[in-house]
Chains A and B, each alone.
Chain A
């Protein structure tokens, strides 16, 4: 392996990192908000929105993200009505199209995670809150949601990693994220191995940083499980680093 070329490639990939990070952060944040709304609609069975959300989740989880992204970026241009509307300012930009596709996609997966978490909140703890005179939004904000959040965190952490990987599809609608730059270098140099190693390292570093953050959040949110085995936790963290 040519280490000088590896180093150069690494430097060339750096400008892609902010794009990747921004796409991932924004899509996860916006997607999570949407997902929460969808989850509440599902759990509360708010008709007819309930049915719409079920259909939405089914379609977005049943088709490839690439299809969704291409429909938004290439497909919508087919309609003059859209090309002439104010939305076109955004919909002709690959960045907003990629972001929109990522948000809609993660919202579908995220809503299922949050729905499961909300459904798993023990009935007794809700009744206890009702017995204290809580109800409606107060009960949701103070009791149901915090409990569900702790329940959802491990699965949602998984979704974070998947979304970082998913941002790479933005390169196929011409964005210069890490994968986009990597693909260009490969096409120019025909040296896929070094480029793969350099780009792969960046993605692994991002994923690993995210895992640490999620774990930190889990520790913070679960003080009751924090104290007993700090040593084991360090060991577990070390195990993750080894590759």
Chain B
């Protein structure tokens, strides 16, 4: 027990600071991917709601495919796929060997593209749960399209989407563990490093689990507060 305390302490021998930095990386890459996915999700939801036939077809294909293929494969595609683009360029400049996006960018891209499919479904569902009359009232007041979207549609959709977005965030957070395969030093990768160094895999993976659990609990609390705050006026 004392050993474990020293090991995760902040002393010269301790792994504590490294694990916390890794946790910050996890949150950063998950948040970046979540934001990217949110932008993508808005576009795809818009294509599904208001697009013409080819756009709707593309959007349906995107959400179906990305929700049916393992995230790990998507991460490999982004990590090694970026190598296809970057390696020839790097070699041209005299850099030898395989060059790809840094793990953070590849991971953010993969998480963004995967979560975009889930975001899109959440946003589309939220849009359809907004009362059509509230949008029509804005039209009847003479609001131009963009103003109506910004002042009325977006806030109403956001309120209905918030619980669903909370779920997507929790999912993204857990999927981010897979980005360890790119070598990005997030929680899982740091735990791997620690366990091979100390030969105490259980201790380190357990610590990783505790960190993840802490982050999910904290973000759950934050989303609850947001929901409470933005659901004012909801029946």
Binding site for B on A (CB under 8 A): 59, 62-68, 70-71, 74-79, 161, 165-169, 171-172, 179, 182-183, 186, 190-193, 195-196, 199-200, 203-204, 207-208, 239-240, 242-243
Contacts and interface: CB of A to CB of B under 8 A. Distances in A.
Q: Which of under 10, 10 to 19, 20 to 34, or 35 or more describes the interface residues of B?
A: 35 or more
B213 A63 contact: yes
Contacts of B177: 64, 66-67
24 contacts: A59-B213, A63-B216, A64-B175, A64-B177, A67-B205, A70-B205, A77-B201, A78-B202, A78-B203, A165-B68, A169-B178, A186-B80, A190-B98, A191-B84, A192-B77, A192-B79, A193-B84, A196-B77, A196-B81, A200-B69, A200-B73, A203-B70, A204-B64, A204-B68
B200 A78 contact: yes
A63 B201 CA distance: 17
A200 B217 contact: no
A243 B70 contact: no
Contact of A196 (B76, B188, B199): B76
A165 B70 contact: yes
Contacts of B57: 242
Nearest to B26: A64
Given A64-B176, A75-B202, A204-B69, 8 more contacts: A62-B216, A77-B202, A78-B201, A78-B202, A78-B203, A182-B73, A196-B73, A200-B69
Contacts of A165: 68-71
Given A71-B205, A71-B206, A78-B201, A62 B70 contact: no
**Interface of chain A, helix or strand or loop or mixed?**
helix
Contacts of B98: 190
A30 B73 CA distance: 26
A161 B212 contact: no
Nearest to A73: B201
Contacts of A179: 70, 72-73
Contacts of B199: 78
Interface string B189-203: 001000100011111
B212 A64 contact: yes
B61 interface: yes
A77 to B, nearest CB: 7
B168 to A, nearest CB: 13
Nearest to A158: B67
Interface in B154-204: 174-178, 180-181, 188, 191, 195, 199-203
B209 interface: yes
A62 B205 CA distance: 14
Contacts of B61: 242-243
A169 B80 contact: no
A161 B67 CA distance: 8
B212 A240 contact: no
Given A63-B216, A64-B177, A207 B201 contact: no
B61 to A, nearest CB: 4
A242 B114 CA distance: 20
A74 B195 contact: yes
Nearest to A59: B213
Given A63-B216, A78-B201, A182 B68 contact: no
Contacts of A62: 212-213, 216-217
